[in-house]
Amino acid sequence: MRPMLILPLLALTAAAPATKPKTPADVLAAAPAAAWKTIPAEDLMVIDLAGGTRVVVQLAPAFAPVHVANIRAFARSGWWNGGKAAIYRVQDNYVVQWGRNETEDPMPPGVVKLPPAEYHRRLKGLTVRPLGYPDQYAPRAGFALGWPIAYDPKAGTANLTHCYAYVGVARDLSPDTGNGSELYAIIGHAPRALDRVIAVVGRIVSGMETMSAFPRGTEALGIYKDRAQDIKIGSVQMASDLPAGQRPSFQYLDTQSASFAEYVRVRASRKDAFFIRSAGGVDLCSAGVPTRATPAG
Amino acid sequence: MRPMLILPLLALTAAAPATKPKTPADVLAAAPAAAWKTIPAEDLMVIDLAGGTRVVVQLAPAFAPVHVANIRAFARSGWWNGGKAAIYRVQDNYVVQWGRNETEDPMPPGVVKLPPAEYHRRLKGLTVRPLGYPDQYAPRAGFALGWPIAYDPKAGTANLTHCYAYVGVARDLSPDTGNGSELYAIIGHAPRALDRVIAVVGRIVSGMETMSAFPRGTEALGIYKDRAQDIKIGSVQMASDLPAGQRPSFQYLDTQSASFAEYVRVRASRKDAFFIRSAGGVDLCSAGVPTRATPAG
């Protein structure tokens, strides 16, 4: 069967001639190198699954500094290594969750057992690019420091949002905030009701297509029925602890750049051939912030 | 490793005592039988994958009558049976796509080769329950006939939306509208920019957790590289053509019912224990329309 190619390409393609309406991919392909910011190696968590797949998470210390410090401490102590941690929960249209029960052993040094509720931060100090369209979950939506954010100018707060591929800290009921030993990533439509209810600490920048495709768990909450179904984690390391030549490197599109502004504009009003109509709007998570592997050279 | 149960349960659970704030699941559990509408068997398409998994799609003849008639004609002629059709495209955070290249053989009788662009319908004749929150993609969002819709009171139009698990008709570039031989379902964050650009014809009411978890294709658009990777379809039948005792049966929550109104209200303002804050809003696809297997007896 010869497949019919029908839906618009979301991946990068070569820039179209100037006479054609631009696609989001065209905008990214045309963005100058200066519009791409390289993510510091100390913000990249490298998860190697036992099966060989590598997953890379960009952490967001500007939004959840204590949780991120905990996650780095767990990684550096080898807390999740050698089969002690696994993916054990996959709930359809919701989350994939992994980690290690932190009650098993003494915490590694440096881990804060009960971090503060870093569910939002001060808006002050952030240079925000407004999305320009309404948000159902907050007074305003926009972008800052390379992240999608929701914010409240009156309250003076800003928070990371539960978009696809975004990573949060699993917790029990309040006032527990989770310590970072167990994490989840969003694998479905953005469950934005979780915003400011759980700490969002980053996003998956590589390996998401593996994390989203594990078999769904059949027990309550999508937990795997048998521990034999768990997907074992081989190791978790910070990229900054890897030898220089072996560090993965990723970039995000500077949310203050002209390229990013154009990217959001084009996302909100597709005019390329397939799109016989433009919506004239876009939601925060559909706009998103593009990331990529740092180009060679 | 004993997993930590931390995220709120989206599945049905027993109703909580009246003193506790209700969850969406509580509202569904308390909904009277009369609030659930049984889907007509002629609107249920039953897809049996070669591996044994059954997927059931509810079709929406009130929104795309010609496309739905085509799909029924394809199913009744056995067009997709016996290994001639497959799932051949899985693009992460976007779509799973299946079908059979309709240029291979003469069309089955009754199939309209170039259906009209049923991307929206007249608003007139629909009893709409407004969502009550803004939408980024249309002047208004709400619900009618058991479906989430976007609508434009000035233009007098209403359309089905690309929410998670919703099914559309693959097509080539305009003015092709697709004939229904190849279909897709949304497996990620709602790509609402596709609304009114492609015909939405229904939603998956059973088997979605299988459809969303197939390995992602590695070629452009998520196409599988080798045809050997395709997931073969065993048969596609309309439920109404199955013997009475073997017909699957599903229901949706009447979007005009008091239970549905309460369901949306609770979705927009979670107050159960885990939710230390309520968003005070919800987007159309996060609200959604609950469906279930028809209870026995």
For residues A138 and B280, the answer to whether their CB atoms sit within 8 Å is no
> A95 and B7: CB-CB below 8 Å?
yes
Q: Output the pLDDT for position A288.
A: 98
The beta-carbon neighbor of A134 closest among B3, B134, B267 is B134
* Cα separation, B53 vs B206, whole angstroms: 10
For A41-293, CATH number out of 2.30.110.10, 2.40.100.10, 2.130.10.30, 3.40.50.1820 equals 2.40.100.10
CB contact under 8 A, A230 and B1: yes
Q: Locate the domains of chain B by residue range.
A: 24-293
Q: How far is B278 from chain A (nearest CA, A)?
A: 7
A245, HSE (Cβ side, Cα atoms, 13 Å): 0
Which chain B residue shows the shortest CA-CA distance from A230? Answer: B1
Q: Which of the residues B81, B88, B91, B92 would you substitute to probe the A interface, choosing the one with the greatest number of A C-beta atoms within 10 Å?
A: B92
Q: Which residue has the higher pLDDT, A98 or B14?
A: A98
CA B120 vs CA A254, B158, B179: distances in Å: 37, 5, 16
Does the distance separating the beta carbons of A95 and B279 come in below 8 Å? no
pLDDT tens track, chain B, 297 positions: 334 444 443 333 444 445 789 999 999 999 999 999 999 999 999 999 998 999 999 999 999 999 999 999 999 999 999 999 999 999 999 999 999 976 667 889 999 999 999 999 999 999 999 999 999 999 999 999 999 999 999 999 999 999 999 999 999 998 899 999 999 999 999 999 999 999 999 999 999 999 999 999 999 999 999 999 999 999 999 999 999 999 999 999 999 999 999 999 999 999 888 898 999 999 999 999 999 999 997
Q: Which amino acid is at A118?
A: E
Q: How far is B251 from chain A (nearest CA, A)?
A: 20
C-alpha to C-alpha distance for A267 and B233, rounded to whole angstroms = 34
On chain B, the residues whose CB falls within 8 A of the CB of A93 are 10, 164-165, 208, 212
**A250 in Cβ contact with A43 (< 8 Å):** no
What does the alpha-carbon distance between residue A90 and residue A99 come to, in Å, rounded to a whole number? 13
Residues of A in contact with B164 (CB under 8 A): 93, 188-189
- pLDDT of the residue at B14: 45
Contact list in B for residue A220 (CB cut-off 8 A) is 5, 9, 11
Query: What's the Cα-to-Cα distance from B194 to each of A277, B119, B160, rounded to whole Å?
Result: 9, 10, 10
Secondary-structure class of domain B24-293 per CATH: mainly beta
3-class secondary structure, B60: coil
Instruction: Tell me the pLDDT tens digit for each residue of A215-255.
Output: 999 999 999 999 999 999 999 999 999 999 999 999 999 99
Residue A20 banded pLDDT, cuts 50, 70, 90? confident
Looking at this protein, which amino acid is placed at residue A179? N
A234, with CB counted inside 10 A (0-12, 13-18, 19+), is: middle
Chain A's closest residue to B273, CA to CA, is A173
Q: How many CB pairs under 8 A join A and B?
A: 218
Residue A18: pLDDT band (50, 70, 90) is low
pTM of the predicted structure, to 2 decimals? 0.94
For residue B78, the Cα-to-chain-centroid distance in whole angstroms is 23
